[in-house]
Amino acid sequence: MQDNLGDKVRLLHILEAVESILEYTAQVDFEIFTREKMRYDAVLRQIEIIGEAASRVSNELKSNTSNVEWRNIVGLRNIVIHQYFGVDDLLIWNIIQKISPN
């Protein structure tokens, strides 16, 4: 299947996924985050979406946004997808805290 989505759509997918993560983790501490499987799984799914979209943005966009750690974003997605039983909960939580406006 050919992928005809452009950078604007990919960035929108990333933004929507980040907003979902922030919604799912608002008013929640680390203990609740890791204990509530549905919430935790929903966040991991959004990380997958972010990583997949990031892997498909154009090289031109990546060059123009060198401050964005595209490789690390995609790498996190790969960990979530391929090492799902080895995901470091605290690492995921710390990343969420970095993107959280609070």
Q: How far apart are CA 62 and CA 59, in angstroms?
A: 5
User: Does the active-site annotation cover 56?
Assistant: no
Among residues 10, 39, 56, 77, the one annotated as catalytic is 77
Cβ neighbours of residue 81 closer than 8 Å, sequence gap 6 or more: 48, 51
Among residues 13, 35, 39, 82, the one annotated as catalytic is 82
Q: CA 59, 82, 1: angle at the middle one, nearest 5?
A: 50
User: Does the active-site annotation cover 45?
Assistant: no
Neighbour count for residue 32 (Cβ, 10 Å):
12
- So which residues are the catalytic ones? 77, 82
